[in-house]
Amino acid sequence: MTNLPERALGSLKVSAIGLGCMNLSHAYGLPPSSEEGGRLLNRALDLGVTLLDTAALYGGGSNETLLGASVMHRRREFTLASKCVLGMYDGKRGLDGSPGAIAQTLDEALVRLRTDHIDLYYLHRLDRRVPIEESVGALVRAKEAGKIGAIGLSEMSAATIARAHAVHPIAAVQSEYSPMGRNPEVAVLETCARLGIGFVAFSPVARGMLAASVRDDAYAPGDIRMSMPRFRQPNLAHNLIAVQAFEALAAETGCTPAQLALAWLLARGDTIVPIPGTRSIAHLEENVAAAAIVLEPATIAQIDGMFAGDAIRGARYAASAQAQVDTELLPDEELAAD
């Protein structure tokens, strides 16, 4: 096992770059076989990755099942993170932040994961029908029962984070964050810094846009980017102008675009932990190597300039998915129409 730099998420110490496991079961077309997924997960551990991030939603539980079958024999080597509230209910994606649903989801996750303890358990989304205090309270009881360790929140606003933290210390907040997706900079990053909460950046290479893997909108059936306005024409053609400038800067810097995006995130603060996902062991190795890259301030400024103003057009999510997100909007951010 290789040693990577570590960062803190509350009391947890994890590798500076983790692994988002969603891609192995969910959201980007036909997933790899369980054997292929297992090989990638074990290679991540070999490379020193110590944060594996899954969720009940991913593959309707099959992602948790994959981790349970593939890496639990190495349980002492990593921090296990999973999520509840957002899931499949009667065959449809939905939210249930009630204490009873949270307890049931957790118990089912423990079975799938073949463990009796999840180190970091997130509320995946805010269920506005349930006070955040009640949802967090359910996780506090799970912690007291020894089923989970730290408590996290995903895609929630600064105000919601503060309310949750008043019930019980929050270890980590997870949201989309990359050079082209800057919503956490509105208020969440400052709130996390003030309250001593770690920040986990999902989609740190912008769902492949900053990894030189998106050139058109001919996505595979079932790929969630088909429903995301910034990944569809005519927005995509406009957005690729900034992306191509980013790729040129990566070449000039001597790294890949994905590494440049990850190094940029690591430079934003020492409690930020990106969790890129991939199905490719070669890309996994490339991502992990970004932990050793230190960017010059001038390079960081160039990146910031590339994505300023209207460099990126189109909403982050389709309207139905945006309705489940509590994170602040950027000034003049576009929203998808119903």
Give the CA-trace dihedral at 18, 23, 28, 29, to 10 degrees: 160
How far apart (Å, rounded) are the C-alpha atoms in residues 313 and 298? 25
Q: Please, which pLDDT band fits residue 89 given cuts at 50, 70 and 90?
A: confident
* pLDDT value of position 1: 66
How far apart (Å, rounded) are the C-alpha atoms in residues 151 and 144? 12
How far apart (Å, rounded) are the C-alpha atoms in residues 16 and 5? 6
| Residues pairing with 81 in the sheet | 53, 120
**Tokens 């730099």 sit at which residue?**
5
How far apart (Å, rounded) are the C-alpha atoms in residues 181 and 56? 25
Q: With helix as H, strand as E and coil as C, how does 189-245 read?
A: HHHHHHHCCEEEEECCCHHHHHHCCCCCCCCCCCEHHHHCHHHCCCHHHHHHHHHHH
Q: Is the pLDDT of residue 335 over 90?
A: no
Q: Is the pLDDT of residue 91 over 90?
A: no
- List, in order of start, the domains of the chain with CATH numbers: 6-322 (3.20.20.100)
As a whole-number percent, the residues of the chain with pLDDT over 90 amount to 93
Crossing angle (nearest 10°) for helices 34-46 and 281-289: 20
Taking only the tens place, the pLDDT of each residue in 219-278 is 999 999 999 999 999 999 999 999 999 999 999 999 999 999 999 999 999 999 999 999
Give the CA-trace dihedral at 189, 193, 198, 201, to 10 degrees: 20
Taking only the tens place, the pLDDT of each residue in 171-224 is 999 999 999 999 999 999 999 999 999 999 999 999 999 999 999 999 999 999
CA 32 to chain centre: 20
Question: Does an H or E element contain 301, and which?
Answer: helix 297-306
Mean pLDDT of the chain, nearest integer: 96
Q: Which of 28, 58, 177, 219 is catalytic?
A: 58
* pLDDT value of position 338: 61
* pLDDT value of position 333: 87
pTM above 0.85, yes or no: yes
Q: Is the pLDDT of residue 329 over 90?
A: yes
Look up 58 and say whether it is catalytic.
yes
Taking only the tens place, the pLDDT of each residue in 53-64 is 999 999 999 999
